[in-house]
Structure 1
Amino acid sequence: MCDFADDCGDGSDEGKNCNSQYKTCSPQEFTCQNFKCIRKQYRCDGEDDCGDHSDEVDCKKENNTCPEGKFTCNNGQCIDSQLVCNKVPDCSDESDEPLHCNVDECAKVEIHRCGHKCVDTLTGYYCDCNHGYKLLEDGKACADIDECIETPGVCSQHCSNTPGGFYCKCDERYYERQNDEHTCKRKDATEPWLIFSNKYYVRNMSVDGRQYNLIHQDLMNVVAIDFDMKEEEMYFCDVTAKTIFKSKFGAIVDDVKIEKVPVIKHDSHGLEGIAIDWVGRKLYWLDRHSKNLDVSELDGTKRKTLKSGVVDPRAIVVHPGIGYLYFTSWHLQAYIAKMGMDGSNFTRILTWEDDIAWPNALTIDYFTDRIYWADAHLDYIAFADLEGRHRHVVLSGNKVPHVFALSIFDDMLYWTDWNMKAIIRANKFTGQNFTVIRNTTHRPYDVHISHPLRQVPYNNPCGQTNGGCTHLCLLAPPLESTYLNVEGYIEEGAPSYKCACPNQFYLARDMKTCIANCTSGQHRCGGADEKCIPWFWKCDGEPDCKDKSDEPESCPARHCRAGTFQCGNGNCTPSTTICDGTDDCGDNSDEQNCDLPCPVSDFKCRSSGRCILDSWKCDGDADCKDGSDEDPEICHKRSCDPDTEFSCKNGRCIPKLWMCDFDNDCGDDSDEPAYMCRQRNCTTGWSRCPGQSNYRCIPKWLFCDGKDDCRDNSDELPENCPKCNAETDFKCNNNRCIPKQWMCDFADDCGDGSDESDAQCKG
């Protein structure tokens, strides 16, 4: 039993009954239908290695063609052409002597019924099509080939399909079509520069890697950058500093540092991607901690949350030409989403069902209207149109082992790779001309090409009067319901705009004026940075308002570090401990004023009075110490998203993938019905845990990662883990395999610290 052989004859001794005993196949192996693991190179080799023939199913066999002057029999045998139709069967299958020998079927249309051409052969005929057409499945009719979709790299930029052919077009404002009628060449002579970051510095570099300059150093963890060509300013996120900075372009000269100015420095504990709207003059960013997508003016004022509940966000890009932005989430239900730059029309254009697992990188080709992304788990770079259609893989496998960020310019892609510790480029359609531009000491993070054509001048619908809006004027999708033609390119319709208000403000009936809605538990900033801030930010030694009205001269003398709470007894405590239900000060002064009302966008914890983001309410995690944000009495009123969430019996909403995961996420066990879970199949790309009686499904890439994802540690047992490659991999103490170049790089890649141990890194 469970030996991969059907000994019973009906399969009852194998298959699902043995799930707990079969080991999970490694990425280097093929999983047979009987759950046996074989080497990938054994698939489609003509031999039944699985024992159930599943390794020989759906194998495309190359057509056997015989040399010139020879006839190909139906069974692949080759005989001399002169032996065909000689009334003697020379092919072992007698296919050289059909009943219709020496008959010209092409002479009569009623016989061949070919749409375009009929080609007579010695033993019959076949239909063929004119150039630019393909034969349909009936073997007779012909259909036009859409080269623009089926051969994406046929044109550098825009492609128009025509009957039997196609026509390439270039954006004539900036490019000229070359004599080959396919390639677009830039008219300007401005050299593009590549800007990239790592934890400690930001550098710029010529695209051939020959010129290499330092812009900023002594940074802590710069994961994302973007730039504004109009003002020649660069914006970057420092995760450790919890701040978005901006600075002028340029390299450090004579050790004179370029000043960096904080733009966003509050409530930004998990900064990820950033994007500059160079037309509407706005800053967009993602935050992993708050799970928010926010927008503000370029100076950080008038901050507004556009979308909440974005779990594990990563990359974000904007397209001001159509009023949309795109961003990624690498949560268990990973996706690439599209949303209006005003927060409208949120749509997942690609999901985990489209082989999206860890979408790290994102960029837009504004001249072809295609979106490019890279998956750091499935190891590929691909593109699609702006609706997620007509997907095409550019590169996959060991050339892209862990892409972190992408950029594009002309016909080349540029990206950073953690495994290779390098900055690389290749053709944006084919992946050809693969070149390592520069190797780096530390893992490179974000990368951008700096050139005016990466920020082409679209019309700004907000105009010179800010659209009449008193606060934010945000670009929005076109008012027309359709703005892309059938080829996926912008045809008609320009982006519109919408007036919006900062957090804690609301829009008046005129849809242009914002009115403050600060509570008694907040201080209202004045001037250009009109906003509401928590009461405990006042007199904390750090100006949070641009007009500094939160730090008047009447504030008591301070000795605590700026940004912390100074207790009544003189002790200091982080502001995050205020109203958490615990006397952190020792005199309970951090638990006073907790009965003040929370902002309208927040939820107030029942016992402590702490204010938390409203998006954290009923999300399956108890953020209030008393669990009041997950109270069934509150949560049952919320309607679950039928596409992505499971509705618990107690009213709580949890991600669908949490159902049957061996955890009581609902709190009433309604997500763990054993009779259903044992019969439930795992999602594509996921595997059932090897442990006996464990029905939990986890992504295949969580196996052997040093963490107990199965809850019984069966995904970390040596017998269920692939063997490391002795030449390229280091085996961690927890059985995880990591690239050798990750050793001794001051990052705990193993998860147990064994790749950074003194035994490995000293001597």
Structure 2
Amino acid sequence: MSLLWPQEPICCLPRAGRSSTSPWDGYSMNKGEAKALLHLPDRVVIAVAYDCVEKMVYWTDITGPSISKASLEGGDIISLVTTDLESPEGLAIDHLARLMFWTDSMKDRIEVAKLDGSQRRVLFDTDLVNPRPIVADPSYGRLYWADWNRDGPKIEMSNMDGTDRTVLVKDDLGLPNGLTYDPESQQLCWADAGTRKVQCMDPNGRNRRTIVEGIQYPFAIVSHGRNLYYTDWRREAVVAVDRTTDRETDEFLPQKRSRVYGIATTPTQCPQAYNYCSNNGGCSHLCLPRRGGFTCRCPDVVDGSCVERNL
């Protein structure tokens, strides 16, 4: 398993010449093995996500704007979504249901589509001001996202079909840029550039605790084992934090120093999990999981007949 991140103006894809990935040695970053994957000049890549099934890296680009993918093993860049975008800043993948979800902080909405960019549908376009990070929990069919609206920042949750939308956190937030969910410990964690803290809680909004505080300017965060890894714009680094001891344990400074944006893990094997849309649930178009079931939904633009139903 490795860490994967984009830098300004670099993205983390194969066969190029600047640092963007770092493998692990246990829970430590093997910094001597860090390498670049792809150079994307004149692009600002914000979010990065990984599909463990096909070993594909997905990213959002706000200069296009666009959502694209490429193989971790090498190959051409494939553009997936290139229209009706303004500032796609968050990206999450459900590898079981073969779906991707993204936030657009200029259009103030959250959308879903198949992993090839087809069957696109707006999930939410109300009560959003600056949505940025979004993460998926495929086993339970849940989405989590943060809105860094300076007048009312919040962290929310919903089912992947858009039902049961709930505000989880609204107090003691400043600029919640980064968000991650660890299915093993069932902890939702975030990095806040306003309060300068990393905090975690359970997905029901209980047992909130501070992991570290007094950090500089975190942008994104990801969980692996006992560690949290966050990117920091001021330090221009990837920082490791042990959440069992609540202390920083490691730092990686890329050879090309610049702002470091999103961060993701690249597991060698997919985690064992199941959801109701693993085989599209018999839906004609979108199969969107939810806790205990799924919903067949139509894309916003339907080609032919489409049937919506709850199961």
Q: TM-score scaled by structure 1?
A: 0.37
1:314–1:330 Cα contact (<8 Å) kept: yes
Q: What is the CA–CA distance in structure 1 between the aligned matches of 2:106 and 2:93, rounded to whole Å?
A: 21
Task: Give the one of 318, 326, 335 matched to 2:144.
Answer: 326
Q: What is the CA–CA distance in structure 2 between the aligned matches of 1:268 and 1:477, rounded to whole Å?
A: 29
Deviation at 1:458, TM superposition (A): 1.5
**Between Structure 1 and Structure 2, whose CA radius of gyration is higher?**
1
Deviation at 1:296, TM superposition (A): 0.3
- Which residue of structure 1 lines up, in the alignment, with residue 299 of structure 2? 502
- Which residue of structure 2 lines up, in the alignment, with residue 193 of structure 1? 2
Question: Residues 282-325 of structure 1: CA distance to partner in whole angstroms, max 9, x if unpaired?
Answer: 01000112111000000000000011122101100000111110
- Which residue of structure 2 lines up, in the alignment, with residue 710 of structure 1? none
Equivalent residue runs for 1:248-287 within 5 Å: 248-250=71-73, 258-287=75-104
- Which residue of structure 2 lines up, in the alignment, with residue 533 of structure 1? none
- Which residue of structure 1 lines up, in the alignment, with residue 64 of structure 2? 241
Code of the residue aligned with 2:55 in structure 1: it is E
2:240–2:251 Cα contact (<8 Å) kept: yes
Task: Show structure 1 runs of 5+ residues with no match.
Answer: 1-191, 252-257, 479-495, 514-763
Q: What is the CA–CA distance in structure 2 between the aligned matches of 1:288 and 1:387, rounded to whole Å?
A: 25
| 1:337 counterpart = 2:156 | yes
Q: What is the CA–CA distance in structure 1 between the aligned matches of 2:304 and 2:212, rounded to whole Å?
A: 47
| 1:366 counterpart = 2:189 | no
Deviation at 1:250, TM superposition (A): 3.4
Cα pair distance change 1:512/1:348, threshold 3 Å: closer
Task: Give the one of 125, 133, 151 matched to 1:315.
Answer: 133
Task: Give the one of 16, 22, 25 matched to 1:205.
Answer: 22
Cα pair distance change 1:433/1:374, threshold 3 Å: closer
- Which residue of structure 1 lines up, in the alignment, with residue 52 of structure 2? 229
1:415–1:425 Cα contact (<8 Å) kept: yes
Greater share of residues in strand: 2
Deviation at 1:261, TM superposition (A): 0.7
Q: What is the CA–CA distance in structure 2 between the aligned matches of 1:431 and 1:507, rounded to whole Å?
A: 54
Any idea what SS the aligned residue of 1:434 has? Answer: strand
Where relative contact order (Cα < 8 A, 6+ residues apart) is larger, the structure is: 2
- Which residue of structure 1 lines up, in the alignment, with residue 245 of structure 2? 430
| 1:414 counterpart = 2:229 | yes
Deviation at 1:281, TM superposition (A): 0.6
- Which residue of structure 2 lines up, in the alignment, with residue 160 of structure 1? none
- Which residue of structure 2 lines up, in the alignment, with residue 445 of structure 1? 261
Any idea what SS the aligned residue of 1:210 has? Answer: helix
Q: What is the CA–CA distance in structure 2 between the aligned matches of 1:284 and 1:378, rounded to whole Å?
A: 27
1:208–1:437 Cα contact (<8 Å) kept: no
Deviation at 1:433, TM superposition (A): 4.8
- Which residue of structure 2 lines up, in the alignment, with residue 604 of structure 1? none
Deviation at 1:437, TM superposition (A): 2.2
Q: What is the CA–CA distance in structure 2 between the aligned matches of 1:305 and 1:506, rounded to whole Å?
A: 16
Cα pair distance change 1:459/1:382, threshold 3 Å: same
Cα pair distance change 1:216/1:506, threshold 3 Å: closer
1:370–1:385 Cα contact (<8 Å) kept: yes
- Which residue of structure 2 lines up, in the alignment, with residue 405 of structure 1? 220
Deviation at 1:432, TM superposition (A): 2.6
- Which residue of structure 2 lines up, in the alignment, with residue 457 of structure 1? 272
Any idea what SS the aligned residue of 1:214 has? Answer: coil
Q: What is the CA–CA distance in structure 2 between the aligned matches of 1:409 and 1:428, rounded to whole Å?
A: 10
1:295–1:303 Cα contact (<8 Å) kept: yes
| Number of residues of Structure 1 aligned to a counterpart in Structure 2 | 293
Code of the residue aligned with 1:417 in structure 2: it is D
Q: What is the CA–CA distance in structure 2 between the aligned matches of 1:506 and 1:467, rounded to whole Å?
A: 19
Cα pair distance change 1:344/1:512, threshold 3 Å: closer
Q: What is the CA–CA distance in structure 1 between the aligned matches of 2:94 and 2:253, rounded to whole Å?
A: 29
Cα pair distance change 1:344/1:200, threshold 3 Å: same
Deviation at 1:456, TM superposition (A): 1.5
2:297–2:307 Cα contact (<8 Å) kept: no
Task: Show structure 2 runs of 5+ residues with no match.
Answer: 13-19, 24-28
Alignment identity in percent?
Answer: 27
Cα pair distance change 1:414/1:463, threshold 3 Å: closer
1:234–1:246 Cα contact (<8 Å) kept: yes
Q: What is the CA–CA distance in structure 1 between the aligned matches of 2:278 and 2:114, rounded to whole Å?
A: 15
1:342–1:475 Cα contact (<8 Å) kept: yes
Deviation at 1:198, TM superposition (A): 1.4
2:239–2:248 Cα contact (<8 Å) kept: no
Cα pair distance change 1:383/1:475, threshold 3 Å: same
2:221–2:228 Cα contact (<8 Å) kept: yes
2:298–2:308 Cα contact (<8 Å) kept: no
Cα pair distance change 1:510/1:378, threshold 3 Å: closer
Deviation at 1:473, TM superposition (A): 0.6
Q: What is the CA–CA distance in structure 1 between the aligned matches of 2:301 and 2:233, rounded to whole Å?
A: 40
Cα pair distance change 1:244/1:463, threshold 3 Å: closer
Cα pair distance change 1:503/1:327, threshold 3 Å: same
| 1:214 counterpart = 2:36 | yes
Q: What is the CA–CA distance in structure 1 between the aligned matches of 2:144 and 2:89, rounded to whole Å?
A: 14
2:179–2:189 Cα contact (<8 Å) kept: yes
1:374–1:380 Cα contact (<8 Å) kept: yes
Deviation at 1:196, TM superposition (A): 0.8
Q: What is the CA–CA distance in structure 1 between the aligned matches of 2:268 and 2:201, rounded to whole Å?
A: 24
2:65–2:85 Cα contact (<8 Å) kept: yes
1:470–1:512 Cα contact (<8 Å) kept: no
Between 207-216 and 231-240, report the one with greater CA deviation: 207-216
Question: Residues 113-171 of structure 1: CA distance to partner in whole angstroms, max 9, x if unpaired?
Answer: xxxxxxxxxxxxxxxxxxxxxxxxxxxxxxxxxxxxxxxxxxxxxxxxxxxxxxxxxxx
1:227–1:235 Cα contact (<8 Å) kept: yes
Q: TM-score scaled by structure 2?
A: 0.89
Code of the residue aligned with 2:63 in structure 1: it is T
Q: What is the CA–CA distance in structure 2 between the aligned matches of 1:237 and 1:199, rounded to whole Å?
A: 13
